[in-house]
Chains A and B, each alone.
Chain A
Amino acid sequence: MATLADLKISEVKLSEEQTGKWGMVIDQDICTGCQACVAACAMENNLSFVGEVDSGYGRSMHWIRIERFWEGAYPEVKMTPNQPMMCQQCGSAPCEPVCPAYATMHSQAEQLNLQVYNRCVGTRYCANNCPYQVRSFNWRDYERPEPLSNQLNPDVTVRRRGVMEKCTFCIQRIHKAQDKAKSEGREVVDGEFTTACAQACPANAITFGRVDDPESLVSQLAHRGHGVKHLEELGALPSVTYFKGG
């Protein structure tokens, strides 16, 4: 009988060719910066509302944020396209090896970076090692006054003070879709479900799906040619492809 010890980390191939399983394509040219994805993500994933004071300390909590940059020097400043930024679900994630508690694991089944809340001891090392700065820390138990307390998603853990959290690619939706497909005796079909951000986006700037399936919409888009992966030179093998100026 195979045991847990047989699943050695060394079995995970960290080669350039590794494609991962789930991936995302974001078209920055059609993103309007409306923040609907940010709101949808917060609702879906039980994010805390940090409030003005703590936000001022840089403790705001988002699993996705819209970045904007300025190019050029005054007065010729030009705004770059809006850039939705979330956990890139790296194939070789810098956050993973630094966790002393093995709380940020690489899921071998789903090829995602996991955050196991009950294991996290809150060293915040992972957040400091994340080149995309997409991890947020629960500095407090933030209050959810009525009626906000009634909108919690039962499929997602409500995090407590002292743990790290980040985008999960809506793993609860992945599991739900897989469970439904399995109960009907079939495979998950492309487009059957999507992440909360992609679902909410009015401009359809975000596409989510299986990148290891060449037929899926997301791989077709990803292979269109001019997409970039952010900070690709770090070799973290991110799963999100961005399009800009196409």
Chain B
Amino acid sequence: MIKRIFDWLKQPLGLIAVGIAVLALFSLAAYGIYTTQQPPEQPIQFPHQTHVAFGIQCLYCHPGAAKGPAAGIPSQAKCWGCHNQIAKTQTSLLLAPLKDAVTSGTPIEWVPVAQVPDFVQFNHRAHIAAGKNCEDCHGDMSKVTIAQNPQVFNMGWCLNCHVETAGQDHEKLVKLSDCGTCHY
């Protein structure tokens, strides 16, 4: 039985069939990887570059970054603080979900983009205090609309920067390369 299948696969038509199957599997895998690299669908196509162009600091909307582990995504109250004074808010199609959310009192469900896995304990504050800038990890927000990850957050990348930052300081290197600093 198995021999018959092999014999059939060895003839030209069989080879073509194998080729098509391999190609299909490969493109499926490639598509799978491609989808993981796409920024998720957001409730509002939030234009980061416009806000940055107005000179709004990252920390104005994400103040948690300077104070604690999570940078935070602003609530609609924060958006509304500026937007209710902007005439365009009333007419813009892009901003309709914001207007709806504020009038109906339902929260906007933003999808976090820059995330680390559950087994990584990341603290924004320590990184800001060490003199890191937001764009070092999150990319230049004056160029993108909705947030995208310019950088795949993996351990080698984290550790490279940790070791570089520690430099010759042995005590710092011990702390920054300790498993328990991020994993617990």
Contact = CB atoms under 8 A, between A and B. Distances in A.
Interface in B159-183: 159, 163-164, 166-168, 170, 173-175, 177-181, 183
Contacts of B167: 1-2
Contacts of B175: 109
B179 A107 contact: yes
A126 B146 CA distance: 46
A228 interface: no
Contacts of B183: 114, 116-119, 157
B173 A7 contact: yes
A105 interface: yes
A171 B125 contact: no
Nearest to A159: B119
A14 B127 CA distance: 33
Contacts of A53: none
B180 A4 contact: no
Nearest to B173: A2
B119 A117 contact: yes
A114 B119 CA distance: 13
Contacts of B181: 109, 175
Contact of B174 (A109, A116, A119): A109
Contact of A109 (B121, B123, B178, B184): B178
A112 interface: yes
A192 to B, nearest CB: 17
B118 interface: yes
B178 A110 contact: yes
A49 B163 CA distance: 39
B126 interface: yes
B114 interface: no
B12 interface: no
A3 interface: yes
B180 A171 contact: yes
A109 B183 CA distance: 13
Interface centre among B117, B180, B183 (most CB of A within 10 A): B180
B179 A7 contact: no
Nearest to A117: B119
Contact of B184 (A1, A2, A114, A179): A114
Interface of A: 1-4, 6-7, 105, 107-110, 112, 114, 116-119, 155-158, 168, 171-172, 175, 179, 182-183
12 contacts: A1-B167, A2-B167, A105-B180, A114-B183, A114-B184, A155-B69, A157-B119, A157-B183, A158-B118, A175-B184, A179-B126, A182-B129
By Cβ-Cβ distance, the 9 closest A-B pairs, closest first, are A107-B180, A109-B178, A118-B119, A109-B175, A114-B180, A157-B119, A171-B184, A116-B183, A105-B179
